[in-house]
Amino acid sequence: MNVYSIVLYLHIVGALLLFVAMGIEFVAVSRLRSAGTAEQARDWLSVLGSIRVIGPVALVAILVPGLYMAATSAGWEGWNILALVAMVGMAALAGSNAARMPAIGRSIGPLRGPLPPEARARLRDRIMWSSILTRIGIGLGVVLLMTAKPDLVGSIVALVVFAAAGAAVAFATSGTAPGSTEPRGLERAS
């Protein structure tokens, strides 16, 4: 076991933690979308709190070893430069969800029992749903960059396709089924 393999191990642990954080956010956002009472909404909002710890730890564990490997042995190439760009995009999308949480928390805060329609509409915010699914798509795209190491153009195409696939899944599943007020699609499966 040499230094490189330890650094790569830490980098992969960071990547795993990133997917743990996105998995938690996916389940919490999907359950918030179908929450019927203030108590359910509060429970799922509190689950999101764990991401505030796991997310930054994952970010540091990916970036520090990733930058080290790129700077020392792997070299700067299209795939790792694009991975950095992808991480900035993912951070911006994560920030847009984080920025919505205080207002959602305040709107649920004093309520008890069944949620009023305005609160349910806020919990079904399509941007929140699109943000997490697009990030999962981008994250899977970055794993492809890391393993296949395409050139610059191939890396751009791969990231655009994966991000678009995540956004398309979000678009297809963000509405309500015809004749129903309940959300349809992926979020009901979690």
Least distance in Å: CB of 143 to ligand HEM? 5
Other Cβ atoms within 10 Å of 90 Cβ, number: 21
Beta bridge partners of 183: 176
Least distance in Å: CB of 78 to ligand HEM? 11
One of 29, 35, 48, 66 touching ligand HEM (CB under 6 A): 66
Which one of 8-16, 20-28, 127-135, 161-169 is the stretch in contact with ligand HEM (CB under 6 A)? 8-16
Q: Evaluate whether 83 touches 75 at the Cβ level (below 8 Å).
A: no
Q: Is 142 in the site for ligand HEM (CB under 6 A)?
A: yes
Least distance in Å: CB of 37 to ligand HEM? 36
Of residues 13 through 52, those in contact with ligand HEM by CB under 6 A are 15, 18
Non-local CB neighbours of 11 within 8 Å, separated by 6+ positions: 61, 62, 65, 66, 69
Residue 12's Cβ-count burial label (10 Å; 0-12, 13-18, 19+) is middle
Q: Is 139 in the site for ligand HEM (CB under 6 A)?
A: yes
